C-alpha cells in the first residue's frame, strides 16, 4: 500500500497545479470556493475496523483543525483529535492533502492523510474522498471517509462528519 502513496501524491500535486479557470464549471462555484482560502473546521470522527459487522462502528473522538487551499483546487489540512471520552487533550495529530473539484455549492475531493496516534506511538495513512457543501459564503458542512492502513490496531474505514468556517 505504501507504494501507492507516491503516485497518488504526485497526481494530487499535479491536480493542484491547474489554473483556476480551466476547471471552473460555473461562475457560482467560483464565488464559494476560492484560492488562498483558510478554513477552520470541527468534526466527529468514527472508525469501523471489521467491515463484516456493523457493531464494529464506533466513535473515535472530536477534532478541530484548519485547511488552507493554495489554489481553488489544491490544499492542505491539519487537525488534532481528542478521544471520545475527552480523557486526553490530544489523542492524535493529522496532516494531509486535499484536491477538490467545486461545482456550485458542492465540492467533491480526494484526500490523503498521515495520522499520528500519540497514545499508541503509531503512524497510519488514510486514502479516501469527501464532499463539502457550502451553505453560505462562510459556512459549510462536510463528510469524508477513507481506508486507514498501516495501523498497529488493524486496518479499516475512518470517517469524519463536520462543519467548516471560511475566513
Domain boundaries, the chain: 2-166
Return the exposure string of 60-79: e unless at least 16 CB atoms fall within 10 Å of the residue's CB, then b: bbbbebebebebbbbbebeb
Alpha helix locations (H) across 21-156? 27-32
Q: Cell match 464549471: residue?
A: 25
Domain 2-166, second-level architecture: Beta Barrel (2.40)
pLDDT tens-place string over residues 59-118: 788 999 999 999 999 999 999 998 766 666 788 999 999 999 999 899 999 999 999 988
Q: Which residues have C-beta within 8 Å of that of residue 120, sequence separation ≥ 6?
A: 152, 153
Query: What's the CA gap between 122 and 154, in Å, rounded?
Result: 11
Beta bridge partners of 148: 126, 156
Q: What is the pTM of this model?
A: 0.77
pLDDT tens-place string over residues 13-42: 444 444 344 444 444 445 799 999 999 999
Is the dihedral angle over the CA atoms 119, 154, 6, 42 positive or is it negative? negative
Of 140, 151, 153, 159, the closest CA to residue 29 belongs to: 140
Cβ 149 vs Cβ 156: under 8 Å? no
Query: What's the CA gap between 86 and 82, in Å, rounded?
Result: 6
Confidence of residue 55 (pLDDT cuts 50, 70, 90): low
Q: Answer whether residue 58 shows pLDDT above 70.
A: yes
Give, in degrees to the nearest 5, the angle at Cα 107 between 144 and 62.
30
Amino acid at each position: 500500500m505504501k507504494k501507492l502513496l507516491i503516485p497518488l501524491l504526485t497526481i494530487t500535486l499535479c491536480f493542484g497545479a491547474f489554473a483556476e479557470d480551466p476547471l471552473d464549471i460555473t461562475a457560482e462555484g467560483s464565488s464559494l470556493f476560492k484560492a488562498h482560502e483558510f478554513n477552520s473546521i470541527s468534526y466527529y470522527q468514527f472508525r469501523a475496523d471489521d467491515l463484516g459487522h456493523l457493531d464494529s462502528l464506533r466513535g473515535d473522538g472530536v477534532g478541530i483543525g484548519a485547511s488552507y487551499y493554495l489554489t481553488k483546487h489544491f490544499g492542505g489540512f491539519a487537525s488534532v483529535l481528542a478521544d471520545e471520552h475527552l480523557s486526553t487533550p490530544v489523542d492524535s495529530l493529522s496532516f494531509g492533502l486535499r484536491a477538490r473539484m467545486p461545482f456550485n455549492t458542492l465540492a467533491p475531493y480526494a484526500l490523503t492523510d498521515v495520522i499520528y496516534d500519540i497514545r499508541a506511538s503509531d503512524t497510519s495513512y488514510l486514502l479516501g474522498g469527501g464532499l463539502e457543501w457550502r451553505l453560505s459564503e462562510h459556512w459549510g458542512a462536510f463528510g469524508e471517509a477513507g481506508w486507514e492502513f498501516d495501523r498497529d490496531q488493524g486496518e479499516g474505514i475512518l470517517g469524519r462528519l463536520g462543519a467548516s468556517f471560511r475566513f
